Amino acid sequence: MSQFNILVLHGPNLNLLGLREPEIYGSVTLTQINSILQEESKRLQVSLSCLQSNHEGVLVDVIHQAMDKIQGIVINPGAYNHTSVAIIDALAGVKIPTVEVHLSNIHRREEFRHHSYIAPIAIGQISGFGVNSYILGLQALVNHLNEAVNH
DSSP E strands in 4-70: the ranges are: 5-10, 47-52
Among 2, 5, 13, 83, binds ligand DQA (CB under 6 A): 13
Find, among 96, 143, 85, 144, the residue nearest to 118 by Cα. Answer: 85
Q: Which stretch binds ligand DQA (CB under 6 A): 1-9, 33-41, 49-57, 78-86?
A: 78-86
For ligand DQA, give the closer residue by CB, 34 or 81: 81
Among 7, 60, 99, 102, binds ligand DQA (CB under 6 A): 102
Rounded-to-integer distance, Cα 132 and Cα 105, Å: 12
For ligand DQA, give the closer residue by CB, 4 or 117: 117
Q: How far is the CB of 59 from ligand DQA (least distance, A)?
A: 13
15, 78 contact by CB (below 8 A) = no
What track of x and - describes contact with ligand DQA for positions 103 through 122 (by CB under 6 A)? xx-x------x---------
- 102 is annotated as an active-site residue: yes
Q: Write down the catalytic residue from 25, 80, 117, 134.
A: 25
Rounded-to-integer distance, Cα 117 and Cα 51, Å: 20
Rounded-to-integer distance, Cα 103 and Cα 133, Å: 6
Does 84 participate in binding ligand DQA (rule CB under 6 A)? no
Close Cβ partners of 131 (under 8 Å, ≥ 6 residues apart): 26, 28, 32, 33, 36, 103
Residues tagged active-site: 25, 102
**Interface with ligand DQA (CB under 6 A):** 13, 76, 78-79, 81, 102-104, 106, 113
